[in-house]
Amino acid sequence: MSDGLALQETIPWIEKYRPRSLSEIINQEAIVNSLKTILSTHSVPHMLFTGPPGVGKTATAHAFAIDLYGGRYVEDGHFLEINASDERGIDVIRDKVKGFARTIPIGGIGFKILLLDEADQLTADAQHAFRRVMEQFSATCRFILAANYANRIIEPIQSRCAVFRFKPIELEHMRIAVQRIASKEGLEVTGRAVEALYEVTEGDLRRCINLLQTASTYSKRIDENLVFQVAGLAWGSEVRRLLELAAAGKIEDARKQLKLILYVNGASERDLIGQIYRDLFYLSIPEKKKLELISLLGEVDFRVSQGANPELQIMMFLATLYSASQVGK
């Protein structure tokens, strides 16, 4: 095997199959068409890419730069990516961003591009400093901000950007992406496995590709059970049984079932909470009580994300579920 092929084998699939042109971006046709129009004029504004994780914001920024500058867009110094979740303070704006933006670009385009990924993680002070940098260096640099939550970006920055709102990846587009990777990697992916990938990732193509790569280390034939296994999910009947035991007041059995799901099957606590939310609608309890339980489940999800004991929090929810199920009996 040549050095080039050996290196290709070690690249994570999320990088290996990253789009190399705007024409390869899927599920975002309106945005791609707008960006192609911008490319044809070279009149590039500052841009804000916003939408849920894994829908192509970062990939689109790179593909745009490739179409504008060519394949050596990074090596030739035309493009810099900074992840604001790693460096979210004002120093990164003063040092890295300002240092890159102030230098005169080489070549005929006349400006560089700086991608600030996860820009919604910047502190308020850093965002105000960034706004001043945008004003100072707009002649030599264009800024692309990628953010999951546009409402966390201060208004003075939003007003200086053309805003592009990305939508979640649809099932058919995810199916096309999975089948393309499967054919190149020699995988057999069942139709139900693709649907399982979609259910698990909820339109997050990045997570889908990572799960697919993980599953491929277990078997070249990937079915829905393998997808759920590598995702660490408690699925279907296990969670439904947990809720039914709690609703029937069999609290000790419910506790054993919860321990089985969390500690034996190794389910992710946050994913388990998500599956409880989906199965809650199938329980035979009053609609008003379901609303109260959904509100409580949101509290449980927040507390677990802040470090609370998952078993204790979910057991509290199950105890409340029992009370709700007794209404009218």
- What is the model's pLDDT at position 7? 43
**What is the CA angle 150-154-157, rounded to 5?**
90
| Domain 171-231 fold | Helicase, Ruva Protein; domain 3 (1.10.8)
Burial profile 283-305: b = 16 or more Cβ within 10 angstroms, e = fewer? bebeeebeeebeebbeebbeebe
Q: pTM for this structure?
A: 0.77
- What is the model's pLDDT at position 170? 94
- On whether the CB atoms of residues 204 and 92 are closer than 8 A, the answer is no
* Beta pairing class for 221-222 and 188-189: parallel
- What is the model's pLDDT at position 110? 86
- What is the model's pLDDT at position 327? 67
User: How many residues would you count in the chain?
Assistant: 329
> Tokens in use for 223?
């079915």
- On whether the CB atoms of residues 182 and 213 are closer than 8 A, the answer is no
Q: What is the CATH number of domain 237-325?
A: 1.20.272.10
User: Within the chain, which residue ranges are assigned CATH 1.10.8.60?
Assistant: 171-231
How far apart are alpha carbons 159 and 139 in whole angstroms?
18
- What is the model's pLDDT at position 6? 45
What are phi and psi for residue 18, nearest 5 degrees? -65, 135
Which CATH number, 3.40.50.1100, 1.10.600.10, 3.40.50.300, 3.40.50.150, labels domain 3-165? 3.40.50.300
- On whether the CB atoms of residues 208 and 173 are closer than 8 A, the answer is no
Residue with tokens 């829908």: 55
- What is the model's pLDDT at position 235? 60
- What is the model's pLDDT at position 253? 95
- What is the model's pLDDT at position 105? 79
User: Within the chain, which residue ranges are assigned CATH 3.40.50.300?
Assistant: 3-165
- What is the model's pLDDT at position 266? 77
How far apart are alpha carbons 66 and 80 in whole angstroms?
12
- What is the model's pLDDT at position 322? 92
- What is the model's pLDDT at position 233? 66
**Sign of the dihedral through C-alpha 33, 34, 37, 42:** negative
- What is the model's pLDDT at position 1? 45
- What is the model's pLDDT at position 125? 86
> Mean pLDDT of successive 10-residue segments in the chain (329 residues)?
50 90 94 96 93 94 95 91 73 78 81 92 87 90 94 94 95 94 95 90 91 94 88 72 92 93 83 87 88 95 93 95 79
